[in-house]
Structures are given as C-alpha cells and as structure tokens.
C-alpha cells in the first residue's frame, strides 16, 4: 500500500499503531508534542488487566482478553529486536474485600477467566507482607504487569530501526489540514505535514484536537498520581488491590502504589495531599512500607472517555481521518488489541474482533 500515514500522538497507542502499519504502508510519521511515550504511557502502573474487569462492558473485555494473551509474545519480540526488555512480569493479582465479589465470580465463570475465591489464610501465606484485617480474597493467576517505561523505550527503538518510520518529537499539532471533505495533513509549528491518512492517538489531548474540526468527542484529561518504593526483589510476590488502590511489584524490587483519580484539567503537578493519601493506602496494604521513603512521586493524564470504551475507526464525513484514542485507564491494557484492530480496519483486512462497539460513527 503506497501511503503516508501521520500518527498524532506518540504514546503506546501511537507507537504500537506505527509498529503494526510500518510493514504495510510506504511511510509512517509519528508526531508528539513532547518526547514519545512520556505522558500517560510512562506514568501508569502497567497492570495488564482492567482493575475491576467485571465492571466493564463486553467491548472493553474483548480487547482486554486479546491483549492479555498477546503481551508475552510482544515483549519477547521487542526484547529480541531491540535488547530492551519490557519485563512482562506474571505475578497474579489478589483482590481484597470486594463489595461485588459475587459479580466478579459470575463474570469469571461466564468469560472463562481463572479468577476464584481463595481462603484469606492462603492469601496471607502467599503474600506475607500483606496488611492485617482483610477478610476475603479473590485471586487470578496469569495476570501480568508490563514495565511501561521500558515498553515505550523498546517500541521507540524498534521504530527508529525501520527505514520508513519517522518520529517527530517536540512537534506540536494545532489542527488538521483539509481539502473539501478530506483531511490531507496536520498543521504543525513548522507548517503543513501532508498525509494520505491521519490517525489521532493523542491521549488526553485528542478531544481538544478533534474539536478544531467542530466535532465533539468526550475525551478529557483525568489526572492520576503514583508513588514508587524500592524494596528487596522478593518483597512482594504478587500484585494486590484493595479499596481502589493497588501495589505492583517489578522484578527488581520496585513497588508502585496508585493511583488517584482527579479532574484537574491539564495540571500534572504532584500534590502533598495525594502523597499522604497514597502513603496511607500503601501502608494499609503493605505495613512494612511505613519505614520506606518513596523514591518517586508523579502524575499523569489519562484520556477519560465514557465507560472507558475507546474510539477506533474512521471519522464520518472526514475522509482520511481515523481515531485510535480514548482508552481512559486501560491504554496499556488494551493497546495490542486496539492497534491490531485499527490496522485491520485501515488496511481493509478482516478485523480480529467485531469493530462496531468502537466505531466513531454514532458516538461523536
């Protein structure tokens, strides 16, 4: 296919979209207003599952299941080609004292997922550092986390090695260039960048960019703050989640605890109140962290969207304009499936799953 595709946004969605398209189109250009992968893709925790998968629609579930099965081979492929290991780390996940435990178990039975109730004593035996007072536990084996900064570094390196891919960092996009009903490029600080197809994957900024065309897409920034600890490598053997907060172990002993959910516009300033709240949650989950000092505290902006269902597909009445955005809290979780589905649609192939729930038509 002889085309130049311009992708607006260099997070994991934009980078993985470029990775899929590179073998099929003549030229791929990824534009980002900063450094690629440094927004929500860098800031998140990297759990390869929605926090509460049974609370989401079948549309999110379909993408999540496909992605979870694909992540190990994606990690291996990137490691082999770049020497950067995204560290797809399978630890399993414990949910503690859920209010909707029955719904979770019913969902697991319906979807064929290995989530089950475990005796709380068994949970404490498996995770000895867990805080006291928890009464019930669900566990799902096979749940992994990906070290998201390393994932975006690996994707960046893989793309830089391809002769037909260009990464244009610090390239602000102010709008779209159009001729009649067709989008023929993007407006940058350096002039018009022409394109046969434009893909909008700009995370929390996607809604604002689309509004330059008079199209309302309810994607807005939702701030999330995280803290990071450094412990011994075997300190936390599994991910744990209670009261909406989670702890994620990395292979080298780093422990992430998150996250807040704040509507604060584009402000990414870490706050003392959030630090105190996250510390309290960390200590409740893992009391030994009371004696630890966080080695990191940061904030990122999620692309909030209704029910977390992303927009994937062509924009009606705007030929040449495509969306792959609005993944809310699950951009890393859903990225492999979302980008494969998007590539199938752009290239006219049979899609991996039914694309109808994600289609922009009727949702904008």
How confident is residue 287, by pLDDT bands cut at 50, 70 and 90?
very high
CA distances from 19 to 219, 279, 280 (A): 24, 38, 40
- H or E stretch at 352: none
Model pLDDT for residues 170-180, shown as the tens digit of each residue: 999 999 999 99
Helix (H, G, I), strand (E, B) or coil at 318: coil
Percent of the chain at pLDDT exceeding 90 = 99
**313 and 22 Cβ atoms separated by less than 8 Å:** no
Give pLDDT, residue 80: 98
DSSP secondary structure code for residue 36 in this structure: T
Q: What is the mean pLDDT of residues 22-50?
A: 96
**Environment class of 195 (CB within 10 Å of its CB; exposed 0-12, middle 13-18, buried 19+):** buried
How confident is residue 92, by pLDDT bands cut at 50, 70 and 90?
very high
**41 and 11 Cβ atoms separated by less than 8 Å:** yes
Q: Which domains occur in the chain, in start order?
A: 4-47+150-218+306-358 (3.50.50.60), 93-141+220-304 (3.30.9.10)
What is the rounded distance in angstroms from the CA atom of residue 148 to the CA atom of residue 144? 12
CA distances from 75 to 44, 71, 78, 97, 240 (A): 17, 6, 5, 32, 23
Give pLDDT, residue 2: 59
Give pLDDT, residue 17: 98
Give pLDDT, residue 218: 96
- CA triplet 152, 31, 64: central angle to 5 degrees? 45
How confident is residue 188, by pLDDT bands cut at 50, 70 and 90?
very high
Q: Can you read off the two tokens belonging to residue 266?
A: 């584009």
Q: Is the pLDDT of residue 305 over 90?
A: yes
The dihedral built from the CA positions of residue 46, 36, 336 and 244, taken in this order, carries a sign that is positive
Helix (H, G, I), strand (E, B) or coil at 35: coil
DSSP secondary structure code for residue 142 in this structure: T
Q: Is the pLDDT of residue 1 over 70?
A: no
Q: Is the pLDDT of residue 322 over 60?
A: yes
Percent of the chain at pLDDT exceeding 70 = 99
CA distances from 62 to 31, 51, 59, 361, 362 (A): 29, 15, 5, 20, 20
How confident is residue 64, by pLDDT bands cut at 50, 70 and 90?
very high
Q: What is the mean pLDDT of residues 146-159?
A: 98
Model pLDDT for residues 210-258, shown as the tens digit of each residue: 999 999 999 999 999 999 999 999 999 999 999 999 999 999 999 999 9
What is the rounded distance in angstroms from the CA atom of residue 139 to the CA atom of residue 113? 11
Helix (H, G, I), strand (E, B) or coil at 92: coil
Helix (H, G, I), strand (E, B) or coil at 356: helix
Neighbours of 355 (CB within 10 A): 14
Q: What is the mean pLDDT of residues 44-56?
A: 96
Alpha helices in the chain (DSSP H): 12-21, 40-43, 58-82, 101-111, 120-126, 148-160, 206-211, 272-285, 331-347
């Amino acid at each position: 296919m002889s085309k130049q595709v311009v992708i607006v946004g260099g997070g994991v969605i934009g980078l993985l979209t470029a990775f899929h398209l590179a073998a099929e189109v003549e030229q791929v250009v990824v534009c980002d207003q900063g450094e690629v992968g440094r927004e929500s893709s860098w800031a998140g925790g990297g759990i390869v599952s929605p926090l509460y998968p049974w609370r989401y629609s079948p549309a999110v579930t379909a993408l999540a299941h496909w992605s979870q099965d694909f992540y190990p081979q994606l990690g291996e492929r990137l490691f082999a080609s770049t020497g950067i290991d995204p560290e797809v780390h399978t630890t399993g996940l414990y949910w503690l004292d859920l209010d909707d435990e029955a719904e979770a178990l019913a969902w697991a039975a319906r979807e064929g997922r290995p989530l089950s109730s475990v005796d709380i004593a068994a949970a404490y035996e498996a995770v000895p550092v867990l805080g006291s007072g928890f009464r019930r536990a669900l566990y799902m084996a096979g749940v992994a986390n990906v070290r998201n900064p390393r994932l975006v570094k690996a994707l960046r390196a893989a793309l830089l090695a391809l002769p037909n891919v260009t990464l244009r960092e610090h390239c602000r996009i102010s709008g779209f260039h159009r001729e009649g009903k067709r989008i023929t490029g993007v407006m940058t600080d350096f002039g018009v960048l022409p394109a046969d197809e434009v893909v909008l994957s700009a995370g929390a900024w996607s809604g604002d960019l689309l509004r330059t065309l008079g199209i309302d897409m309810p994607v807005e920034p939702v701030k999330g703050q995280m803290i990071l600890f450094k412990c011994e490598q075997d300190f936390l053997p599994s991910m744990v989640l209670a009261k909406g907060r989670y702890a994620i172990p990395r292979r080298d002993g780093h422990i992430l605890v998150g996250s807040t959910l704040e509507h604060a516009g584009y402000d990414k300033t870490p706050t003392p109140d959030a630090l105190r709240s996250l510390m309290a949650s960390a200590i409740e989950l893992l009391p030994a962290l009371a004696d630890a000092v966080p080695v990191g505290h940061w904030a990122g902006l999620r692309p909030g969207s209704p029910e977390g269902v992303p927009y994937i597909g062509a924009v009606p009445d705007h030929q040449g304009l495509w969306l792959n955005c609005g993944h809310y809290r699950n951009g890393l979780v859903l990225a492999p499936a979302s980008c494969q589905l998007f590539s199938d649609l752009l290239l006219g192939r049979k899609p991996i799953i039914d694309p109808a729930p994600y289609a922009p038509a009727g949702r904008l």
